[in-house]
Amino acid sequence: MAALAAATSSDKKLQNTLGEKFRTGALHTIMVHNERSLDLLNGMLVYLAWYHFYYIPKKEQFNQLLHIAIGMVGDLGLNLTPGEAMSRKVGLRLTHYRKVSTPSANHDEFFSREARRAYLGCFYLSTLTGWVKMKPNGVQFQIYMVECAISLGQELEHPTDVLLLPLVQLQNMAEVNHRSLSTVDHMNGLDLEMKVQSFQAEFKQWKHSLPLVSQQANWMDLACEIAVMHVYEMDLVNVFVSKRRRTTDSLKHSTSSPSTSRIPLEVLFLCLKSAGQVAQNFLYIPTSEYSSLSYMQWSCIIYAISIIYRLTIGIPQLRDWDVRVARTTLDFDSILDTLCSRFDSVSGCDHAALENGDLFSMMGSIFENVKQTYGRLQLLSQDDSADDTSPVHATSYVPSTLKYRHPCPAFQTWRTGRLG
């Protein structure tokens, strides 16, 4: 039913009905009847992969549903080899697939293909969610993931199975290097420069090893630039970092001396260029294919736009960052103009029913507000634009009971159901 709901985006009412029916039915089965099954897990992953069709901030449950799916992975023992799962008495109802070659072995080497794909899919969703929303990754990388991806690529039941290994490797490489570069408080400029060079060499080697089919795919270029952007972000730009960010004093200390400030700012410049490349790669995608993009791809695109936005208006903790250089390097106005014109033609948002509008339908309005707000902030000095306390939205709204400015430019719209 989750797959059927995702495929009916042309009929919004039917899609919402099917999506809600699956969600409530799945939660009832899991929470009330305490049932666990591979079919149920795969249904949850499909629902989450296309969650932008159902995403409404007031009713948003993505993180809760993802944690339920992650819990099912553990309950079913998919993060273990069948032998380990058997010894721990988990996942015994799952069908196994391939036997270990040694005659003495009395267990299987891998769970079924579907089970392995579900495990890797959960890792992919959890990792990208951690990048975008700064949430803890509930599915930590382990070598068994690589073994599962290799086995699926060898069996090649589906053509896309060959891409699983590169994606797992890319996710892990980006996560490890992001954590390494994010410890700027504990390294000098030379250490950071060496770590950047090490990552660049590792990434280049990985890219040369890609299968030819993935080298020619635009979506793989998009995945690569998103990963590179995340590595260079260093926990300095993502708006969600504010909840766990180091104090302003420590940030100023890390960029206070000339010997240390140059390198972090150069890395952020690389982050800006990668974010710009993400936006450009997205603009190469025909609008007819927008409905085929997954929720995580949309989230990463929004992540890239938010990074460009912050680096072109300034960040209070990074006073040495020059927004004039950022604006000269990247024509953010042009990117926003193109995004707005494209989404105006595909989103079909009904302004009379915005309160119940999903993320995909609201995308045009979101980018229009970002464009207008950015236009206003460009007229201010860097200190004023970085510390701007005016309403996030460029347009006027009815009074809200909110005591704070929400980072999402469309959040007020979703709360009131009114635009303009």
29 contacts: CB under 8 Å, gap ≥ 6 = 35, 40
Residue 394 has pLDDT above 60, yes or no: no
Q: Please, are residues 185 and 254 in contact by the beta-carbon 8 Å criterion? A: yes
> Phi, psi (5° rounding) for residue 33?
-90, -5
182 alpha carbon, distance to own chain's centre: 18
Query: What tokens does 329 get?
Result: 């390097």
Of the ranges 93-102, 158-167, 211-220, 370-379, which one carries the lowest mean pLDDT score?
Answer: 93-102
The 10s digit of each residue's pLDDT in 23-59 is 999 999 999 988 889 999 999 999 999 998 888 766 7
Q: Is 28 left (phi over 0), alpha (psi -120 to 50) or beta?
A: alpha
Q: How confident is the model at residue 335 (pLDDT cuts 50, 70, 90)?
A: very high
Of the ranges 21-25, 60-64, 123-127, 329-333, which one carries the lowest mean pLDDT score?
Answer: 60-64
Q: How confident is the model at residue 16 (pLDDT cuts 50, 70, 90)?
A: confident
- What does the pLDDT average to over 301-318? 90
Percent of the chain with pLDDT over 70: 76
Q: How confident is the model at residue 127 (pLDDT cuts 50, 70, 90)?
A: very high
Query: What tokens does 119 get?
Result: 């495990």
Task: Report CA-CA distances (Å) from 276 to 121, 269, 282, 348, 352.
Answer: 27, 11, 10, 26, 34
Q: Please, are residues 78 and 117 in contact by the beta-carbon 8 Å criterion? A: no
- What does the pLDDT average to over 158-169? 91
